[in-house]
Structure 1
Amino acid sequence: MSIEVEVLTEVTDDVAAAFARLLPQLSTSAAPLSPAALAEIVGHQANTVLVALSDGVVVGTLTLVMYPIPTGLRAHIDDVVVDSLARGKGVGEALTLAAIRVASEAGCRTVDLTSRPSRDAANRLYQRLGFQLRDSNVYRYAIHQK
């Protein structure tokens, strides 16, 4: 499988359809995105949305969020999803390495991410690529509770 990773700059019908296919594979609770909502995410100044393509078809995506804080420019990888039919074929690695390159070129010193412990393959990938497990507590405050 040949994989190309690109920065997403335009939301086409094909891209919107790909996200409609991929998002449920990432989260069963995430609401579907309209093309306009996806375009807003892609156009946000803090976001770099990467897509992995195989034969012109989007088979994975990753969102790199970069933002300045007093201690420097921070980078965080979020919402990594690889199509179930393309898993284990280097798509996640290609996306992650591209995100690291983009963050490095922007001047970030580190890239953070979180991954559920149950995602064994993803966690092995991140460790193999050099990500180190941090001694940290991650907290979440739910603003809108169901």
Structure 2
Amino acid sequence: MTESYYRKLLASDNSYLFFITDGGNIAGMLTVGVYKSPTGIKAWIEDVVVDDSYRGQGLGRLLVEHAISFAGSLGAGSLMLTSNPSRVAANKLYQSLNFARKETNVYRMAFEQ
């Protein structure tokens, strides 16, 4: 990520970055993307990352709980995320926080940069 891209991301009205720090070190981060649609305000959790040296301390849970509170404060009708099934611990975390697995197909189109 370039500095220019990072600055644009921070200035965006639709993206919110949340960090957990330990002194001057970033221990974890999470992004919440928000958009309006005809069916209401939607929010997505993206890029949940906890540094390897801080895993197992509940920081991922704190980040996601904060995202839930934040999305609710915006009046979002839903908060969604995706997680690879191989990420067993992450999937257990999301389920323990009352995220329900949605039975749907997710389609993705990648654009060349």
Scaled by the length of structure 1, the TM-score of the pair is 0.74
**Alpha-carbon deviation of 1:56?**
4.2
| Corresponding position of 2:89 | 121
User: Letter of the aligned partner of 1:121 in structure 2?
Assistant: A
Among residues 94, 102, 105, which one is paired with 1:134 in the alignment? 102
User: Letter of the aligned partner of 1:133 in structure 2?
Assistant: R
Map 1:68-107; keep pairs closer than 5 Å. 68-107=36-75
Higher RCO, 1 vs 2 (CA within 8 Å, ≥6 residues apart):
1
Scaled by the length of structure 2, the TM-score of the pair is 0.94
User: Letter of the aligned partner of 2:57 in structure 1?
Assistant: K
Identical-residue share of aligned pairs (%): 39
The 2-side partners of 1:43 and 1:58 are apart by 20
Q: Name the one with the larger strand percent.
A: 2
The runs of at least 4 aligned residues of structure 1 exceeding 6 Å deviation read none
Question: What secondary structure sits across from 2:78 in the alignment?
Answer: coil
Structure 2, unmatched stretches of 5+, are: none
Cα deviation, 1:74-109, whole Å, max 9, x if unaligned, reads 000001111011111111101001111110000012
Question: What secondary structure sits across from 1:48 in the alignment?
Answer: strand
Structure 1, unmatched stretches of 5+, are: 1-32
Aligned residues: 113
